[in-house]
Chain A
Amino acid sequence: MKSLQALILCALLGMTSGCASYSPSYGGEPEDAEYSASQISANTAVQNLYDQAMNYAHAGDYDQAEATLERGLRIEPNNAYLWFELARLSADYGNIKKARELASRAQSLAGGEKYLQGQIERFVQGL
C-alpha cells in the first residue's frame, strides 16, 4: 500500500520535477531515519540539531531541515552524516544534481565508516 502511495506521489511529482527514479526519504514514518543522533556525533549540540532537522524533514519543512543541518555543519564541518542528510533532502526536493554533489562530499568525508559509505553509494546509484 505504501509503495502504491509512493508510486502515485512520484507519478504526480514526476509531471513537474521528474522524480521518477527516486522515492522520497522522509515521506513516511519518523523511523525512516536510519541513524540515531548518538550514532552520527558525540557532540550533544550536533545530536540535538540532527534530531530537530529530522523532525522538520518528516513534517515536510525542508527549508528548516536544511537550515538546521547547516547549523550542525557549522559545529562539525567534516561530519559525513550531516552532509549525507543534506544530500537526501536535496533528492527529496527533486534537485538530483545537487543531491549527487552533496553525496560525493559526504563520501569524501566518510573514511572508515563502512556502513555509511555503502549507503551513500547505493543512494547515488538510486538517483
Chain B
Amino acid sequence: MEQRYKLAEGWLDGAVVVSVPQTGEVAAVIGSRRSNFEGFNRALDARRPIGSLFKPAIYLTALERPEAYTLTSLLDDSPLQFQEAGMNRAWEPQNYDKQFHGEVPLWLALANSYNVSTARLGLELGVKPVLQTAQRLGVEEPLKPYAATFLGSAELPPIQVAQMYQTIAAGGFRVPLRAIREVLTVEGRPLKRYAIDVQQVASSQSVHLLTRALQLAVEEGTAKSMRSTLPESLHIAGKTGTTDGLRDSWFAGFSGNYVGVVWVGNDKNEPTGLTGATGAMPIWAKMMAQLHPAPVPQVEPPGITYLATHRGVGARVSGHCSEAVELPFVEGSEPQTEVGCGGDYTTTSKVRKWWQRLLR
C-alpha cells in the first residue's frame, strides 16, 4: 500500500479488531503492523478521530422514530452554517466531493456518506439523543456534546468502534466483547467464568433498516469497490471513514459470522493520502475473504415490509424500473406517494397530495 501510494516505507501503521457478532467473542486483535510487537496496542489504546464511522449512530436515532423518518425520507444536503455555544466560529460542514446534493433520500445520504445532510439530520434530532445512541451501542469514552461530534471528531480506540458495530451486527443486542471465556483450576474446573451478557439496546426493526442502508453503502455507495474481493451474495454491511487531511482511514463492517474494524494511519498524525475506501477497506475485505465469511442473514424481524422505491425521489415506484431500490419499512411508515420510473408523480399521487392539502 505504501508503494502504491508513494509513501515512505514504514509510514503507515494499523490496527484490527475482529469479533463474533452474536457472542461478542474476540477472534483477533492486532495492535501494530508488526504482529509480534509488544508495546503500545493501537487496537486498544490509540484514540483516533473516527470520521464517518460515527454516522450510523445518527441514522439509527432517526430510524428509531418511524413516524418521522424512514429510509426514503428526503434530507436536505444544501449548504449549512451552524453556530454553537462554546464554539468560536460557525461550523460549516463540507461533503468529501465538495459538492452539495440537494434533497437526497436518507439511505443514499448514509450510503454515499454525505456530511452536510447528515449534520443537518443530527441537528434536527438533537446532540444529546444522538450521543446517547452512540453510548447505547457501546461507546464508553465521553463524547463532546457538540455537533462536530456527528461528523466524527470523536476520538475512539478501534475496540470501542468494534463494540459499536457489534451491536448493529447483532440486530440491536449489545454483547460486551470478551477475550477470556473462563479461568480454570489445575484440575480443569472453572475458577472464574466470563459468561455471555446481552442487552437489547435498540429495536430489531430500526437496526434492520440501518443494516440495509449499510449494505447499500457496500453495494453501491462509498464501499462499492469491495465487490472486487467479496461477492455481493454475502450482503456485507459496512461503513468507510476518513478524517481531515486524510489522516485516518477506517472501515467497520460485518458478514454473518464476523464483525471487523480496521484502522490505518500514521502514529505522528500526519496525512496518509488514504481514504477509508482506499486504505482500510481493501485490508478489511482481504482479511474477511480469508475468514470463510457467511452471508448476513436475510431475515426480517416482524413488522417490516419491503417496497420498491425510486432512488432519487424517495417515493414508491411500480413495475420494472432501473431506478428502483428495494427498501424495508416499519409497517405503517411506508411512503404513500408513487412515482413513475422517471421520478414524476403519478396521477393517483397527485390526487392524493391535492386531497391531503385540502384536508389540512
Q: List chain A positions with a Cβ less than 8 A from chain B.
A: 63-64, 66-67, 70, 73-74, 77-78, 86, 98, 101-102, 104-105, 108, 111
Q: List chain B positions with a Cβ less than 8 A from chain A.
A: 20-23, 25, 171, 173, 181-182, 190, 193, 195-200, 204, 257, 297, 299, 301-302
Evaluate contact between A101 and B200: CB separation under 8 angstroms.
Answer: yes
Which of B197, B257, B297 makes the CB contact (< 8 A) with A98? B197
Evaluate contact between A108 and B301: CB separation under 8 angstroms.
Answer: yes
Nearest residue in A to B257 (C-beta to C-beta)? A77
Evaluate contact between A77 and B23: CB separation under 8 angstroms.
Answer: yes
Q: What B residues does A77 contact at CB under 8 A? A: 20-23, 257
Q: Could you give 17 example pairs across A and B, Cβ below 8 Å?
A: A67-B182, A67-B195, A70-B181, A73-B23, A73-B196, A74-B20, A78-B297, A101-B173, A101-B197, A101-B199, A104-B173, A104-B200, A105-B173, A105-B198, A108-B171, A108-B173, A111-B301
Which of A74, A86, A108 makes the CB contact (< 8 A) with B204? A108
Q: What A residues does B21 contact at CB under 8 A? A: 77
Q: What is the bound-complex CA distance between A67 and B23, given in angstroms?
A: 13
Least distance between B6 CB and chain A CB atoms (Å): 43
Evaluate contact between B196 and A86: CB separation under 8 angstroms.
Answer: yes
Q: What is the bound-complex CA distance between A77 and B193, given in angstroms?
A: 19
Least distance between A104 CB and chain B CB atoms (Å): 5
Q: What A residues does B196 contact at CB under 8 A? A: 70, 73, 86, 102
**Contacts A67-B190, A73-B196, A108-B171 known; A78 to B22 CB distance under 8 Å?**
yes
Least distance between A58 CB and chain B CB atoms (Å): 19
Least distance between A29 CB and chain B CB atoms (Å): 26
Nearest residue in B to A73 (C-beta to C-beta)? B23
Q: What 6 pairs between A and B have smallest CB-CB spacing?
A: A77-B22, A104-B200, A105-B198, A101-B198, A101-B199, A108-B204
Q: What B residues does A78 contact at CB under 8 A? A: 22, 297
**Contacts A74-B23, A77-B20, A108-B173 known; A66 to B301 CB distance under 8 Å?**
no
Least distance between B305 CB and chain A CB atoms (Å): 15
Q: What is the bound-complex CA distance between A105 and B200, given in angstroms?
A: 8
Evaluate contact between B23 and A66: CB separation under 8 angstroms.
Answer: no
Nearest residue in A to B299 (C-beta to C-beta)? A111
Least distance between A111 CB and chain B CB atoms (Å): 6
Q: What A residues does B299 contact at CB under 8 A? A: 111
Q: What is the bound-complex CA distance between A108 and B304, given in angstroms?
A: 13
Least distance between B190 CB and chain A CB atoms (Å): 6
Evaluate contact between B195 and A70: CB separation under 8 angstroms.
Answer: yes
Nearest residue in B to A87 (C-beta to C-beta)? B198
Nearest residue in A to B22 (C-beta to C-beta)? A77
Q: What B residues does A66 contact at CB under 8 A? A: 193, 195
Evaluate contact between B190 and A64: CB separation under 8 angstroms.
Answer: yes
Least distance between A71 CB and chain B CB atoms (Å): 9
Evaluate contact between B193 and A63: CB separation under 8 angstroms.
Answer: yes
Q: What B residues does A105 contact at CB under 8 A? A: 173, 198, 200
Which of A63, A74, A86, A102 makes the CB contact (< 8 A) with B25? A74
Interface centre among B171, B200, B204 (most CB of A within 10 A): B200
Q: What is the bound-complex CA distance between A1 and B297, given in angstroms?
A: 47
Nearest residue in B to A102 (C-beta to C-beta)? B198
Q: What is the bound-complex CA distance between A102 and B278, given in angstroms?
A: 39
Least distance between B293 CB and chain A CB atoms (Å): 14
Nearest residue in A to B20 (C-beta to C-beta)? A77
Q: What is the bound-complex CA distance between A81 and B234, given in angstroms?
A: 25
Evaluate contact between A73 and B190: CB separation under 8 angstroms.
Answer: no
Least distance between B125 CB and chain A CB atoms (Å): 25
Q: What is the bound-complex CA distance between A104 and B302, given in angstroms?
A: 13
Least distance between B30 CB and chain A CB atoms (Å): 21
Evaluate contact between B193 and A73: CB separation under 8 angstroms.
Answer: no
Least distance between B170 CB and chain A CB atoms (Å): 8
Q: What is the bound-complex CA distance between A112 and B61, given in angstroms?
A: 29
Other contacts beyond A70-B181, A101-B197: 13, CB < 8 A:
A63-B190, A66-B195, A67-B181, A67-B182, A70-B23, A74-B20, A98-B197, A101-B173, A102-B198, A105-B198, A108-B171, A108-B173, A111-B299
